[in-house]
Structure 1
Amino acid sequence: MRVFQLGEMFCGPGGMGLGVKLANMEWEAKGWQVQHAWAIDYDADSCATYRHSLCPEEEHKVICADVRNFDITILPKINAFAFGFPCNDFSLVGEKQGIYGKFGPLYQYGIHVLNQFEPDWFIAENVGGLRSANQGQTFLKILAELQGAGSGYELTTHLYNFADYGVPQIRQRIIIVGIKKCLNLKFLVPAPTHLNQHITARQALETPPILPGVANQEITRQSASVVARLKHILPGENAWTANIPPELRLNVKGATMSQIYKRLDPDKPAYTITGSGGGGTHVYHWEEHRALTNRERARLQTFPDDFTFYGSKESVRRQIGMAVPPLAAKVIIDAILKTFAGIDYPTITPKWQMAQSSVTDYKQLRLLEQTGCYLT
């Protein structure tokens, strides 16, 4: 049996960890397995969710700590690594401060893990907005550092739309898979499985129905003004595209984000579930005049109904929105294991190519970095 010991940084509530478990269900019989070695996150509620829902008998493996003040040298050895470094500063709905923001530099702690343990492979995940942060230079810098970490990694970078892989949600995320160069293996992007047959919001939320008593299913109490506004918003519309009476329109200048009071279209995948929740961004039911429950949001993220999230209602909403969809994680893990096992699978060409940038080579980028010319 070939066993990969997986470490996770910025693990959240366990979307990647659950994806690993789902992949193991198919691979253990083939003699391959990805075992949970340790996971780190600074959010106590996320750690509680991960512990209770994924490793209740090994709670010590989930470490609640700020990576900026944590000694990674005390961690058990790993040969696989996953980190979805915080995306707040790269997200289109965040402050977009890029690498100069509070969260932007945190990817470097993943680099430290790669240098310390030199795992055979790693997965790095972030929002699509990472490509354009600081005129694209941040993305190039991160790729260069990932490629040069440890003894060197062969990278495959792709902008995935997870709806194309069976997630009932239009969720675009950059996934970077790195494999040690010395292993002479190349990860190939798995071909979409649901390109022309997306799972709709109605299918996700109604088949099967959510049973009474399920955790995290508390209904949001909407104010009278919100209910009145929603009555004028049709499925798929938002506060800016709907025919809303003047007295119910939002008195906001310069903010026309499409997700504000946007109802789901029941016959299409949901729009992106985020960790935010204020200002009309809760995600709204296509028929009922209310925001979705956290359990409904979790379904759109492909968490099963028996996966319980811990913390306040607001904390749970944030955990769900910031998690990696487990089904999407399973797709990536499955393709990595096939790569190592030498099993062919349908593939596509990565959407992002270095040729789109004036800097077309990682080595060239490092030379620019050394001279201080890559930041203009």
Structure 2
Amino acid sequence: MKNSDHSYKIATLFSGAGGLDSGFANTGKFENQIANDLLQAPADTYSKNHNVRIQSVANFNEEPKLPCYIVGDVTDINFEPLKNIDCVIGGPPCQDFSQVRGSRDELGITQVRGNLYSHFIRALTRAAPKIFVFENVPGLVSANGGLAYKTITEDFENLNEKWTEIKNKIKKGPDSAKNYFLIFNEIVNSSDVGVPQKRKRLIIVGVRKDLLNLTAEYDYTKKAKQILKGETSLLKKYPITAMEAFEGKTVPELAEKYTKLMEEYRGIENKVGTPEAFAWKSKTWDKLTLNVVDDYLISNNIQPKDDDEVEVAFEEHKIILKELGYYGKPLEGRKFDDNSNEIPKESDKVKSRMSHIPPNMNYLFVDGTEWKVKGTMSNIYRRSHPLKPGYTVMAYGGGGTWSYHYEKERSMLTNRERARLQTFPDDYMFEGNRSQVRAQIGEAVPVRLGTKLADIALSVLENIPTN
């Protein structure tokens, strides 16, 4: 029987500023009891936007007051209050797995698992939630020759058997654990679900095996894949763009804006004079029409089924922009109470360099010129393309890693522009200095992806009898 009127309790670990939590909150069906992070700034942001108290680990362990955000080391938290939690969500920092080298036999099984990950497992064993959501960087799948990933999936599926090994390492936790069936275990591109950003994440969703039968396993697996792989909409084929997110209009409505901004780059290959610049002229510029819809299709390698499909796709874009609160609300010139839309100051040298790099190109475009700069990654001084999803928003990094606006006279994105690429609502206020806010935004799970994960969790929880 469907429990459609029931609300569910969740706990999140490694919560940061609350992107994933906000996605779950958007459904109106989840009550977050516990969130946690090591740092104060994201805790302040979370508390401000979710209206929860902040507790230190020591205070929480002595007298837990739910709901709350626990600031401190997850390894020290007493998870006893998690007993009535329906869903545990979160993802340990990827660095937790990055230092392991060698085979399983060489290392011993306890060394394969990162310490923070082991305490995520401890939370699962204590709470025994009906469902969990684990997210991480896609590189985790191949890290350490795939050993860490293999260990993680085996742990989730056979947790009662594996728990003794893990408990022996961390020296705390209950005596037994529940096993989980993984209804989803793949890499997801956030743009496939309507996030205006190319951002891939490893998503693992597990449901307690004792609550399932074979039919339910198939149904939940099918539904999760449909939602997260973009099979229920046109968004995978027709992604939402950075320009739509920043300007608050759909692609067809931005025709004049697009033509004007692209005309600014006409002839730039002659000013720069590099092989990369002339290659861009022949491979990219010469193929453009400066008709916004045609160039959107060209830039994203889209072969429309017919004109009706294109129209339906952009109507879906409008619906999502309205859901996000962006439609009709361009960011340019807007002031926010947290100063998140202030354009960062940059040196004249950087401004000059960026004025000679067109959309979709990076530092290599000006290599060998007076604007050259050393770079080792493709995202260095890479300018956003107005008709594509934004590039992955980064949390950290030095010069050239901040993400750059598609307009010729603009350089670094503001934190609010970055927040829109992560689908945070405009009334989500961030606490901390510019670098701290940058980190909070860059480390977050896109809010809209969080909502899709919440939809999957609901599809399970609403069909499992309440205790």
TM interval, shorter chain, is: 0.7 to 0.9
SS in 2 for 1:62: strand
Q: Residue in 2 aligned with 1:347?
A: none
* Aligned counterparts of 1:198 and 1:172: Cα–Cα separation in 2: 14
Match of 1:70 among 77, 90, 99: 77
Q: Is it true that 1:163 corresponds to 2:191 in the alignment? A: yes
Q: Is it true that 1:340 corresponds to 2:461 in the alignment? A: yes
**What does residue range 2-21 of structure 1 map to in structure 2 within 5 Å?**
2-21=6-25
1:245 deviates by 4.7
* Aligned counterparts of 2:206 and 2:129: Cα–Cα separation in 1: 10
* Aligned counterparts of 2:196 and 2:346: Cα–Cα separation in 1: 25
Q: Residue in 2 aligned with 1:43?
A: 39
Q: Is it true that 1:248 corresponds to 2:289 in the alignment? A: no
Match of 1:154 among 172, 177, 181: 181
Q: Residue in 2 aligned with 1:280?
A: 400
1:339 deviates by 3.0
Q: Give per-residue Cα distances to partners, 1:25-68, cap 9 Å, x unaligned.
A: xxxxxxxx221111111111111111111124788611101112
SS in 1 for 2:363: coil
* Aligned counterparts of 1:174 and 1:75: Cα–Cα separation in 2: 25
Q: Is it true that 1:212 corresponds to 2:334 in the alignment? A: yes
* Uncovered stretches (5+) of structure 1, i.e. residues with no partner: 25-32, 91-95, 344-376
Q: Residue in 1 aligned with 2:352?
A: 228
The answer as to whether partners of 2:96 and 2:115 remain within 8 angstroms in 1 is no
1:169 deviates by 0.3
Q: Is it true that 1:190 corresponds to 2:226 in the alignment? A: yes
RMSD over aligned CA atoms reads 2.3
SS in 2 for 1:285: coil
Q: Is it true that 1:262 corresponds to 2:382 in the alignment? A: yes
Mean Cα deviation higher: 323-332 or 181-190? 181-190
1:143 deviates by 1.1
* Aligned counterparts of 2:405 and 2:129: Cα–Cα separation in 1: 43
Give the 3 Å change call, closer, same or farther, for CA 99–152 of structure 1 in structure 2. Answer: farther
Give the 3 Å change call, closer, same or farther, for CA 121–99 of structure 1 in structure 2. Answer: farther
1:202 deviates by 0.2
Normalising by structure 1, report the TM-score: 0.81
Q: Residue in 2 aligned with 1:317?
A: 438
Q: Give per-residue Cα distances to partners, 1:91-140, cap 9 Å, x unaligned.
A: xxxxx535899x94311111001111101000000010001100011100
Q: Give per-residue Cα distances to partners, 1:204-250, cap 9 Å, x unaligned.
A: 0110212622131121101111112112211000112x134533212
The answer as to whether partners of 2:83 and 2:126 remain within 8 angstroms in 1 is no
Letter of the 1:265 counterpart: H
Give the 3 Å change call, closer, same or farther, for CA 342–73 of structure 1 in structure 2. Answer: closer
* Aligned counterparts of 1:97 and 1:57: Cα–Cα separation in 2: 35
The answer as to whether partners of 1:17 and 1:54 remain within 8 angstroms in 2 is no
- Identical aligned residues as a percent: 36
1:74 deviates by 4.9
Off by >6 Å, runs of 4+ in structure 1 = none
1:76 deviates by 6.0
Mean Cα deviation higher: 293-302 or 57-66? 57-66
Q: Is it true that 1:308 corresponds to 2:429 in the alignment? A: yes
* Aligned counterparts of 1:323 and 1:294: Cα–Cα separation in 2: 13
Give the 3 Å change call, closer, same or farther, for CA 226–131 of structure 1 in structure 2. Answer: same
* Aligned counterparts of 1:47 and 1:256: Cα–Cα separation in 2: 33
Q: Give per-residue Cα distances to partners, 1:272-326, cap 9 Å, x unaligned.
A: 1111141310000111332000000000000011000101110000000000111
Letter of the 1:327 counterpart: R
The answer as to whether partners of 1:12 and 1:323 remain within 8 angstroms in 2 is yes
1:183 deviates by 0.8
The answer as to whether partners of 1:167 and 1:328 remain within 8 angstroms in 2 is yes
Q: Give per-residue Cα distances to partners, 1:147-194, cap 9 Å, x unaligned.
A: 223220001201100101000001110110010001114332234131
Q: Residue in 2 aligned with 1:290?
A: 411
Q: Residue in 2 aligned with 1:370?
A: none
Letter of the 2:372 counterpart: R
Give the 3 Å change call, closer, same or farther, for CA 43–57 of structure 1 in structure 2. Answer: closer
SS in 2 for 1:2: coil
SS in 1 for 2:142: helix
1:342 deviates by 4.9
Q: Is it true that 1:130 corresponds to 2:140 in the alignment? A: yes
SS in 1 for 2:380: coil
1:79 deviates by 2.0
* Aligned counterparts of 2:415 and 2:95: Cα–Cα separation in 1: 21
Q: Residue in 1 aligned with 2:251?
A: none
SS in 2 for 1:248: coil
* Aligned counterparts of 1:98 and 1:209: Cα–Cα separation in 2: 46
Match of 1:329 among 437, 440, 450: 450
Mean Cα deviation higher: 74-83 or 214-223? 74-83
Letter of the 1:258 counterpart: S
Match of 2:127 among 117, 121, 127: 117
Q: Residue in 2 aligned with 1:199?
A: 240
* Aligned counterparts of 2:400 and 2:190: Cα–Cα separation in 1: 24
The answer as to whether partners of 2:83 and 2:127 remain within 8 angstroms in 1 is no
SS in 2 for 1:247: coil
Give the 3 Å change call, closer, same or farther, for CA 270–89 of structure 1 in structure 2. Answer: farther
* Uncovered stretches (5+) of structure 2, i.e. residues with no partner: 56-64, 103-110, 160-176, 249-328
Q: Give per-residue Cα distances to partners, 1:59-84, cap 9 Å, x unaligned.
A: 86111011122222355631210012
